[in-house]
Chain A
Amino acid sequence: MTTTLHFDQEVMNLLHAAGGEPLSTCIQCAMCSASCPAAPFMDDSPRRLIALINADLRDQVLASNTFWTCASCFACTERCPRGIDPAQLMYALRRYSIWKGVHREDLVGPDFSRRFVRTILRNGKSYEPGYAPAFIWEGGFPGMVREVQGALRLLRKGRLPLIPSRIKDLDGFRRMIGRIIPLEGFE
Chain B
Amino acid sequence: MTTYAYYPGCSLETMAASYHVSATEVARRLGIDLVEIEDWNCCGATAYSQVDELLAQVLCARNLALVEQSGRTDVVAPCSACFKNLSFANLHMQDDGDLLEHMNYALDADGLAYSGSVRVHHLMGMLVDEVGIDAIRARVTKPQEGLRVAVYYGCQLVRPHRPGQGMQDVEDPRFFEDLMEAIGADVVPFPHRLRCCGGSLIVTSRKAALAMLHELLRSAGESGADLIVTACPLCQVNLELYQAEVNREFGAEFKMPVVYFTQLMGLALGASPKQVGIGSEIVKAGSVLACRGAATP
Could you tell me which A residues sit within 8 Å of B by CB distance?
17, 37-38, 40-41, 65, 68-69, 71-75, 77-78, 87, 91, 94-95, 98, 107-109, 112-114, 116-117, 120, 124-128, 134-135, 138-139, 143, 146, 149-150, 153-154, 157-161, 165, 167-169, 172-173, 175-181
Q: Is the CB of B55 within 8 A of A117?
A: yes
Query: Could you tell me which residues of chain B, from 142 to 158, have a CB within 8 Å of some CB in chain A?
Result: 155-156
Knowing A126-B45, A160-B15, say if A179 contacts B109 (CB, 8 Å): yes
What 7 pairs between A and B have smallest CB-CB spacing?
A73-B196, A41-B208, A116-B47, A172-B110, A175-B109, A74-B159, A179-B106
Residue of B nearest to A119 (CB): B42
Q: Check B211–A74 contact: CB distance below 8 A.
A: no
Tell me how many residue pairs across A and B have CB atoms closer than 8 Å. Answer: 179
A43 to chain B, nearest CB (A): 12
Minimum CB–CB distance for B105 against chain A, Å = 6
Give Cα distance in the complex from A158 to B14, angstroms. Answer: 8
* Contacting residue for B171 out of A78, A108, A160, A175, CB 8 A: A78
Minimum CB–CB distance from B107 to chain A (whole Å) comes to 6
CB contact under 8 A between A91 and B52, given known A68-B205, A179-B105: no
Given the interface pairs A73-B155, A87-B160, A176-B110, the reply to whether A159 lies near B14 with Cβ below 8 Å is yes
Given pairs A38-B196, A113-B50, 7 additional interface contacts (CB within 8 A): A77-B159, A95-B51, A113-B47, A127-B10, A128-B15, A154-B241, A157-B281
Q: A173-B41, A176-B109 are contacts. A73–B199 as well, Cβ < 8 Å?
A: yes
Tell me if A68 and B204 are in contact (CB < 8 A): yes
Residues in A whose Cβ lies below 8 Å from that of B59: 120
> Chain B residues with Cβ under 8 A from A176's Cβ?
58, 62, 106-107, 109-110, 112
Q: Are B41 and A124 in contact (CB under 8 A)?
A: yes
CA distance A25 to B141 in the complex (A): 55
Indicate if B290 sits at the interface (CB-CB under 8 A): no
Residues of chain A with a CB closer than 8 A to B134's CB? none
Interchain residue pairs with CB less than 8 A apart (14):
A38-B208, A75-B155, A94-B50, A95-B51, A107-B204, A109-B50, A109-B204, A116-B45, A135-B206, A159-B16, A172-B109, A176-B107, A177-B55, A177-B58
Q: A68-B204, A138-B206 are in contact. Are A74 and B110 (CB under 8 A)?
A: no
Which B residues lie within 8 Å of A68 (CB)?
A: 204-205
Bound-state Cα–Cα, A178 to B16, Å? 31
B39 within 8 A of A: yes
Task: For A154, list chain B residues within 8 Å (CB).
Answer: 15, 241, 282
User: CA separation between A23 and B255, bound complex, in Å?
Assistant: 44
Q: Report A117 CB to chain B, min CB distance, Å.
A: 5
**Bound state CA distance, A78 and B200, in angstroms?**
20
A168: nearest chain-B partner, CB-CB? B39
Contact residues in B for A120 (Cβ distance below 8 Å): 41-42, 44, 48, 59
Annotate B149-181 by CB proximity to A: 1 below 8 A, 0 otherwise. Answer: 000000110011100000000110000000000
By beta carbon, the residue of chain A nearest B279 is A157
B40 proximity list for chain A (CB < 8 A): 167
